[in-house]
């Protein structure tokens, strides 16, 4: 697992916008039967805005649970939060869930860790419970990039493709769903996101490389960026 932690993926990005969260949760509700009695877990929940919105929509009687290795001070108050790693959480207590969400964090684990995590997750599902795993679309990714970022992202997506194939084969998954969201964001905001390393491919870049990339983005794109954020979804 990467040693540097992503802190800003859901900090004032389109991923934390009300429109994105509502669209994402609409996708979830359309593909799984959940109600006010459902028990929900988000592994790598960040600030928990997705879970918080889902809790309000479903009027959940049990606060949804979010786990992460960072305890953000501005996390959503509608969720129950635990600062703990996923494997430690499952080994500590025997919880049962109707939905376990793993959104854009599976690539942070090795294949061995992924198998362990998913096996533990499956053991902690209720009878009709499901695990939803989301990753960037490996074939049709449209994120605005600078040259070095694109090289890093291409390499990362190749590994993501390997991970998705690995999961599909060991758990006999034949059908993949896709979630798409049309992003419109100011170049100023996107440059801030790059500076704050909102995506894992930027974590290992030096300040000089980030600064050079910002200049490249600034000259390459207009004042507003429009693109489609595409995710692949595997359901176990």
In a domain, 2, yes or no: no
Gap between the Cα atoms of 44 and 15, Å rounded: 14
In a domain, 112, yes or no: yes
In a domain, 175, yes or no: yes
In a domain, 6, yes or no: no
Whole-number pLDDT of residue 15: 87
End-to-end Cα spacing for the chain? 22
Residue 186 belongs to domain with CATH number: 3.40.50.150
In a domain, 103, yes or no: yes
Gap between the Cα atoms of 113 and 126, Å rounded: 22
φ/ψ of residue 41, rounded to 5: -125, 135
**H helices present in the chain, as ranges:** 18-31, 49-58, 86-92, 111-123, 147-170, 187-195, 207-220
Query: pLDDT per position in the chain (236 positions), as tens?
Result: 444 566 767 777 898 899 999 999 999 999 999 999 999 999 999 889 999 999 999 999 999 999 998 888 889 999 999 998 887 888 766 789 999 999 999 988 999 999 999 999 999 999 999 999 999 998 878 899 999 999 999 999 999 999 999 999 999 998 899 999 999 999 999 999 999 999 989 999 999 999 999 999 999 999 999 999 999 999 99
Whole-number pLDDT of residue 1: 40
In a domain, 119, yes or no: yes
In a domain, 51, yes or no: yes
Structural domain that includes position 116: 14-235
In a domain, 87, yes or no: yes
Bridge-based pairing of strands 80-83 and 65-68 is parallel
Supply 80's token pair: 């129950």
Number of domains in the chain: 1
Gap between the Cα atoms of 137 and 80, Å rounded: 30
Which burial class, exposed, middle or buried, applies to 32 when counting CB atoms under 10 A from its CB (0-12, 13-18, 19+)? middle
């Amino acid at each position: 697992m990467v040693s540097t932690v992503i802190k800003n993926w859901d900090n004032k990005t389109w991923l934390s916008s009300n429109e994105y969260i509502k669209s994402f949760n609409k996708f979830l509700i359309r593909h799984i039967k959940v109600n006010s009695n459902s028990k929900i877990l988000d592994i790598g929940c960040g600030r928990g805005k997705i879970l918080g919105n889902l809790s309000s929509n479903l009027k959940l009687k049990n606060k949804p649970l979010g786990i992460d290795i960072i305890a953000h001070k501005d996390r959503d108050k509608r969720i129950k939060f635990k600062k703990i790693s996923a494997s430690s959480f499952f080994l500590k207590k025997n919880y049962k869930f109707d939905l376990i969400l793993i959104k854009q964090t599976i690539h942070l684990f090795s294949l061995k860790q992924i198998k362990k995590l998913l096996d533990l997750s499956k053991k902690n599902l209720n009878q009709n419970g499901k695990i939803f795993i989301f990753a960037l679309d490996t074939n049709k990714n449209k994120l605005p990039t600078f040259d070095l970022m694109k090289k890093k992202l291409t390499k990362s997506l190749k590994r993501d493709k390997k991970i998705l194939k690995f999961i599909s084969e060991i758990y006999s998954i034949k059908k993949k769903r896709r979630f798409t969201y049309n992003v419109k964001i100011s170049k100023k905001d996107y440059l801030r996101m790059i500076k704050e390393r909102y995506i894992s491919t930027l974590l290992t870049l030096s300040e000089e490389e980030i600064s050079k990339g910002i200049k490249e983005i600034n000259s390459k794109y207009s004042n507003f960026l429009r693109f489609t954020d595409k995710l692949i979804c595997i359901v176990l």
